[in-house]
Amino acid sequence: MARLIFLSLLLVGAILFALTIGRYPLGIGDIAAFFQAMAGMRLMAPDRYQLLHNIIVEIRLPRILGAALVGAALASSGAAFQAVFRNPLVSPGILGVLGGASFGAALGILLFGTWALIQLSAFTMGLVAVGVGLLIANMFGQGSMIMLVLGGMISAALFTSALSIVKYTADPYEQLPAIVYWLMGSLGGLDMTQIRWAAIPIAGGLVVLALFGRALDALSMGDDEARALGVPAQQVRYGVIGAATLVSALSVSLAGMIGWVGLVVPHVVRLALGPGNARLLPASAFAGAIFLVAADCVSRSIMRSEIPIGILTELIGIPAFIIVLHRARQGWT
Amino acid sequence: MMTAVVASECLEARGVHFPRGSRIILNDITIRLRSGEIVALLGANGAGKSTLFRIMLGFLKPERGEVRLNDRPLSEFSRRTLAQRIAYVPQAHVAPFPYKVHDVVLLGRLAETGIFRAPQAADRRVVGEVLERLAITHLAARPYTEISGGERQLTLIARALAQGAGILVMDEPMTGLDYGYQVRLLQHLVDLAGSGRTILMSTHNPEHAVQAATRIAVLRDGSIVADGPPAQIITPSLIRALYGVAVSTSTNAEGRIMLLPTIVHAQDSIRLASKAAIFPRRPE
């Protein structure tokens, strides 16, 4: 518990620090002064207040909060999927949610072009892809673990090929670049309305995942053992898959494809705090949030133009993953 | 609380029939376990031991027949109440994540706390007691993935004891253990039965069965072909029929039956002449 409180304080610190990063120079004192003025505890010149409001609340805060939400969702759902599939090398895309969401986003760009509808389309298709994967798994294998993996693979492949069709038919000057940029992941397009909409279901999903933590410990030892310990294995599995799919689909619809967070962050947290899921899932959420807030700071400050965050997490994630692989060489057992 | 005599339980399979495709895995199995018994289930690979276990634990439903716990059908119990009565000890395996031994044993308390409640001090106390009882307290903080096979088996037994269940179903608990662990484990099983627990275990080794079991059941081609006290069941002719080798039996000072395999040495020329008679072809 003390560790979780520490991580949450660290997250608040990371968010405050991230607010100071950007083209217009702001110190931590300016941020503090602004929030005091906002709360009515301090007077500030109206034009100065307006300027700071613009920079902090309109521009920086949405993307920072977005980074925190997306990072938390990806890391926590990744950790949950790793327990469900008894494999530390599983990422949130295992059941096809990312493939489905990319197709949905591309389709949204092709058909609607408005941001809200693109996000809705990405979210819906993410859920549909997982649904297709589960359907395939249940048609042939009574939902056994290996059939879930195969069902997810088939579903992801299906939606990836559908994405290729959409790319092929898209207008190469306007729509295709938009699709490609979306696939690289970006937090730049977020505003407070989207954050408000997504925050409640993501937070709810994260709480549900954390509540299933102990049951996941039992489930990760095998279905029969979980049952013998009094855990309804199938219900827990579907409850966790449902919550993890919800939060990962929402995160993809907010920020596009951001890889490696869901794979690497749970690993690092597991090495630091141990594998017990009741602690691992909430701790991964905080660590993922901190990681993505930090990565976003790098992405918008290292070069004059912004580096797509998905590329950055890949660049950081791959070497981290190689180190992690060295520590955990357990395959499908 | 762990030394207290647990509630007396009776688990029985009645006329259990289980086919898979056209093959009959279990054919009209009836077996009854009473409090304080150690029942060893002998049988070759593929005889249906695992399937019978999965049915008796309620993981599989038989096509015909039923399993009853204290004269009520297993299906009337919730998963959680069942876990408080019957514990399953799988073969020692490697877990995908390096949980600490203490935390693996603590999972045994899930049946008591339910899946959404955190374990309390009392649950941790139970874990401490069962670790002590099995003399593995020193392993508590070690990762389950890094201890030996014998230590893992004891950890899984500790987890079953932490469940507080009166019936323990053990799937080949001796497999892969060195001699010292085998003897220690047999002693633990006898002690557990002495405190009123009922044990059903499968084994490949009839010597383990005669050393610990109060009753031996023999499963062959999906049917129980013999069921009774070791002295009546384990005969040279049964061993020959099951495993195709010759043994002699004797009784030790405590009245327990002992098995001695007949090994022919080359310099023993008189025996050599009759080697063909001692090693008949394994019956199909």
What pLDDT was estimated at residue B272?
Answer: 54
For testing contact with chain A, the best of B75, B105, B110, B115 (most A CBs within 10 A) = B115
Q: Which of A230, A270, A333 lies at the smallest CB-CB distance from B111?
A: A230
What pLDDT was estimated at residue B1?
Answer: 43
What pLDDT was estimated at residue A191?
Answer: 87
> Above 80 in pLDDT, residue B220?
yes
Give the residue on B whose Cα is nearest the Cα of A214: B115
Task: Compute the nearest-CA separation of A237 from chain B (Å).
Answer: 13
Distances (CA, A) of A149 to A86, A95, A135, A231, A331: 11, 7, 12, 22, 14
Q: Which of A227, A230, A330 lies at the smallest CB-CB distance from B96?
A: A330
A327: pLDDT confidence band, cut at 50, 70 and 90? Answer: low
Q: Which residues of B touch A83 (CB under 8 A)?
A: 97
> Above 50 in pLDDT, residue A333?
no
Q: Which residues of B touch A276 (CB under 8 A)?
A: 99, 103
DSSP per position, chain B = --SSPPPP--EEEEEEEEEETTEEEEEEEEEEE-TT-EEEEE--TTSSHHHHHHHHTTSS--SEEEEEETTEEGGGS-HHHHHHHEEEEPPP---SS--BHHHHHHGGGHHHH-TTSPP-HHHHHHHHHHHHHTT-GGGTTSBGGGS-HHHHHHHHHHHHHHTT-SEEEESSTTTT--HHHHHHHHHHHHHHHHTT-EEEEEES-HHHHHHH-SEEEEEETTEEEEEE-HHHH--HHHHHHHHS--EEEEE-TTS-EEEEE----TT-HHHHHTHHHHSPPPP-
Note whether A230 contacts B82, CB cutoff 8 Å.
yes
pLDDT in tens, B43-76: 888 888 999 999 999 999 999 999 999 999 999 9
B266: pLDDT confidence band, cut at 50, 70 and 90? Answer: confident
> Above 70 in pLDDT, residue B226?
yes
> Above 50 in pLDDT, residue A331?
no
A63: pLDDT confidence band, cut at 50, 70 and 90? Answer: very high
What pLDDT was estimated at residue B242?
Answer: 86
pLDDT in tens, A186-228: 888 888 888 998 999 999 999 999 999 999 999 999 999 999 9
What pLDDT was estimated at residue A75?
Answer: 97
CA atoms within 13 A on the CB side of A52: 21
- Contact of B86 with chain A, judged by CB distance below 8 Å, is answered with yes
Note whether A236 contacts B115, CB cutoff 8 Å.
yes
pLDDT in tens, B71-116: 999 999 999 999 999 999 998 888 889 999 999 999 999 999 999 9
Is there a contact between A253 and A119 (Cβ–Cβ < 8 Å)?
A: yes
The strands making up B64-69's β-sheet, listed across from edge to edge, are: B23-33, B11-20, B64-69, B72-73
pLDDT in tens, A272-319: 899 999 999 999 999 999 999 999 999 888 877 788 888 889 888 888
pTM of the full predicted structure? 0.88
- Contact of B108 with chain A, judged by CB distance below 8 Å, is answered with yes
- Contact of B107 with chain A, judged by CB distance below 8 Å, is answered with yes
B6: pLDDT confidence band, cut at 50, 70 and 90? Answer: low
Task: Compute the nearest-CA separation of B141 from chain A (Å).
Answer: 11
What pLDDT was estimated at residue A229?
Answer: 96
Instruction: Count A/B contacts: CB-CB distance under 8 Å.
Output: 86
Tokens of B6: 């647990």
pLDDT in tens, A98-120: 889 999 999 999 998 788 888 89
Note whether A275 contacts B54, CB cutoff 8 Å.
no
Mean pLDDT rounded to a whole number for chain B: 88
Task: Compute the nearest-CA separation of A305 from chain B (Å).
Answer: 42
pLDDT in tens, B157-203: 999 999 999 999 999 998 878 898 899 999 999 999 998 899 999 99
Give the residue on B whose Cα is nearest the Cα of A211: B116
Task: Compute the nearest-CA separation of A233 from chain B (Å).
Answer: 10
What pLDDT was estimated at residue B281?
Answer: 56
pLDDT in tens, A224-251: 999 999 999 999 999 999 999 999 999 9
Please state, in angstroms and rounded to a whole number, the distance separating the CA atoms of residues A226 and B272: 54
- Contact of B90 with chain A, judged by CB distance below 8 Å, is answered with yes
- Contact of A135 with chain B, judged by CB distance below 8 Å, is answered with no
**Residue count (chain B):** 284
Q: Which of B80, B81, B96 lies at the smallest CB-CB distance from A86?
A: B96
Task: Compute the nearest-CA separation of B278 from chain A (Å).
Answer: 42
Tell me which residues of chain A, numbers 62 to 101, contact chain B at a CB-CB cutoff of 8 Å. 83, 86-88
Percent of chain A with pLDDT over 70: 97
- Contact of B88 with chain A, judged by CB distance below 8 Å, is answered with yes
Is there a contact between A245 and A94 (Cβ–Cβ < 8 Å)?
A: no
Q: With CA atoms as reference, report the closest residue to A265 among A112, A125, A133, A91.
A: A91
Percent of chain B with pLDDT over 90: 61
Average of per-residue pLDDT across B1-24: 79
Give the residue on A whose Cα is nearest the Cα of B54: A224
The ipTM, to two decimals, is 0.86
pLDDT in tens, B25-36: 999 999 999 989
What pLDDT was estimated at residue B160?
Answer: 94
What pLDDT was estimated at residue A107?
Answer: 93
Q: Which residues of A touch B118 (CB under 8 A)?
A: 214, 278
Q: Which residues of A touch B99 (CB under 8 A)?
A: 217, 274-276
- Contact of A270 with chain B, judged by CB distance below 8 Å, is answered with yes
Q: Which residues of B touch A274 (CB under 8 A)?
A: 98-100, 103
Q: With CA atoms as reference, report the closest residue to B169 among B192, B203, B198, B194.
A: B198
pLDDT in tens, A116-171: 888 899 999 999 999 999 998 888 767 677 888 888 999 999 999 999 999 999 98
Task: Compute the nearest-CA separation of A221 from chain B (Å).
Answer: 6
What pLDDT was estimated at residue B271?
Answer: 56
Note whether B107 contacts A217, CB cutoff 8 Å.
yes
